[in-house]
């Protein structure tokens, strides 16, 4: 197999040797190229959603983490493990949600509503996290906001308006919303999805909640990348329409060989591409990039140490909350009104 004309096998062998030499491990997101996902797993690393990437990076003994994903994932790894070396194949790999939420404007928004609990999506800069009371990913946002609402808290939510609206509709929480969106999920088209469902009435529809509300409304299951994976395995269906980045199809197909997965439509019939759902920043990760950073030690993620300490607090809250939830412990106290707002640094 070759990547853009370059033979993949010699690169993979080189990466395996370098990982060993540097005491390094790969931590990859479901949206990166299949060959990176497979290599991460083959070499004792992880392929997962953004929440589990954070937890795995924090807990793994390796001194160097090669984060194959986008910048906020590398920054989160650095915040949780300031003494580790965090490398990324391309430091320009960003995210439209992060880019659309500059810290000065977001802080001003928070300052205007000091009584509200600030909940930010993990897809944000370290500086924005350092202004938050809570960080959440799509796999725990619903649980965290439900618990905050149960203790009577009003919320500032940023930056993804679609995920925010979905959580608001599900929980009834009082949420002031930042106007951000994911350029990939924003492209899914409700009208075309309806037509596809008519064509394949037996298909189950799996949707990531960064998608527009009209698309979410047609879902059989709405959830994070890991929830989509679980649903595909659990549902007694053999045909699925998937509204998330097409990188996800690799794991869906390898883990469910008897099932068929179709991409949800992103454009009308006049467009040249019927489903173009692939994150341009996730696509910046490559075998060549991994080999290069492991060889040269370049593309290391740095986060201002002062910012690190403050940004870690809301991330730790998320990790403690989700660990308690997983082990069946009560979470109400963790999100109660007695948990102080962290405020501006």
Residue with smaller CB distance to ligand 13P, 138 or 292: 138
Q: In whole angstroms, what separates CA 108 from the centre of its chain?
A: 25
Q: With contact defined as beta carbons under 8 Å apart, do 73 and 93 qualify?
A: no
Q: Give the pairing type, strands 64-68 and 24-29.
A: parallel
Task: Residue 321: name its binding partner from ligand SF4, ligand 13P, none (Cβ under 5 to 8 Å by kind).
Answer: none
d(CA 121, CA 128): 10
**Contact region for ligand 13P (CB under 6 A) — 133-141, 166-174, 257-265, 268-276?**
133-141
Residue whose CB is less far from ligand 13P, 137 or 285: 137
Using only C-alpha atoms, what is the Rg of the chain? Answer: 20
Asked if 133 interacts with ligand SF4 (CB under 6 A), we say: no
SS3 205: strand
Here the tokens at position 271 are 């467009």
Our finding on whether 123 is near ligand 13P (CB under 6 A) is yes
Q: Residue 266 interacts with ligand 13P (CB under 6 A)? A: no
Please state whether beta strands 6-7 and 2-3 pair in parallel, antiparallel, or not at all (unpaired).
Answer: antiparallel
Instruction: Say how many residues touch ligand 13P, by CB under 6 A.
Output: 10
* Residue 248 to residue 235: CA distance in whole angstroms: 17
Q: Which C-beta is closer to ligand SF4: that of 223 or that of 335?
A: 223
Q: Pick from 66, 70, 86, 315: which binds ligand SF4 (CB under 6 A)?
A: 70
Provide the 8-state DSSP code for 265. P
Sort 262 into a burial class: Cβ within 10 Å, 0-12 / 13-18 / 19+: middle
Residue 183's binding partner among ligand 13P, ligand SF4, none (Cβ under 5 to 8 angstroms by kind) is ligand SF4
Asked if 94 is part of the footprint of ligand 13P (rule: CB under 6 A), the reply reads: no
81 contributes a contact to ligand SF4 by CB under 6 A: no
Contact residues toward ligand 13P (CB under 6 A) are 49-50, 123, 137-139, 182, 210, 224-225
Contact residues toward ligand SF4 (CB under 6 A) are 70, 95-97, 123, 182-184, 210, 245, 279, 281-282
């Amino acid at each position: 197999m070759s990547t853009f004309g370059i033979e993949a096998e010699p690169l993979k062998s080189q990466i395996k040797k370098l990982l060993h030499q540097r005491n390094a491990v790969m931590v990859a997101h479901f949206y990166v190229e299949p060959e990176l996902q497979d290599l991460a797993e083959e070499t004792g690393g992880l392929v997962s959603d953004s929440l589990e990437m954070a937890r795995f990076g924090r807990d793994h003994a390796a001194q160097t983490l090669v984060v194959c994903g986008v910048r906020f994932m590398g920054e989160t790894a650095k915040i949780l493990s300031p003494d580790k070396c965090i490398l990324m194949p391309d430091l320009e790999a960003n995210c439209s949600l992060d880019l659309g939420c500059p810290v000065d404007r977001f802080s001003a928004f928070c300052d205007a509503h000091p009584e509200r609990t600030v909940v930010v999506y993990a897809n944000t800069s370290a500086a924005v996290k350092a202004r938050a009371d809570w960080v959440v990913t799509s796999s725990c946002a619903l649980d965290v906001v439900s618990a905050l609402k149960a203790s009577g808290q009003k919320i500032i939510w940023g930056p993804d308006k679609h995920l925010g609206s979905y959580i608001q509709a599900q929980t009834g929480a009082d949420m002031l919303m930042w106007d951000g969106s994911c350029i990939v999920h924003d492209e899914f088209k409700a009208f075309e999805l309806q037509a596809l469902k008519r064509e394949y009435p037996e298909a189950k529809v799996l949707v990531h909640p960064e998608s527009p509300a009209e698309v979410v409304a047609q879902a059989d299951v709405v959830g994070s990348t890991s929830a989509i994976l679980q649903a595909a395995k659990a549902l007694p269906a053999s045909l699925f329409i998937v509204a998330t980045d097409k990188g996800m199809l690799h794991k869906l197909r390898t883990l469910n060989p008897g099932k068929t997965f179709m991409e949800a439509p992103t454009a009308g019939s006049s467009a040249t591409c019927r489903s173009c759902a692939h994150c341009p920043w996730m696509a910046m990760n490559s075998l060549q990039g991994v080999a290069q950073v492991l060889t040269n030690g370049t593309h290391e993620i740095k986060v201002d140490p002062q910012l690190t300490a403050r940004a870690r607090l809301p991330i730790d809250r998320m990790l403690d909350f989700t660990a308690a939830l997983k082990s069946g412990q009560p979470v109400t106290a963790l999100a109660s009104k007695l948990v102080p707002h962290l405020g501006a640094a």
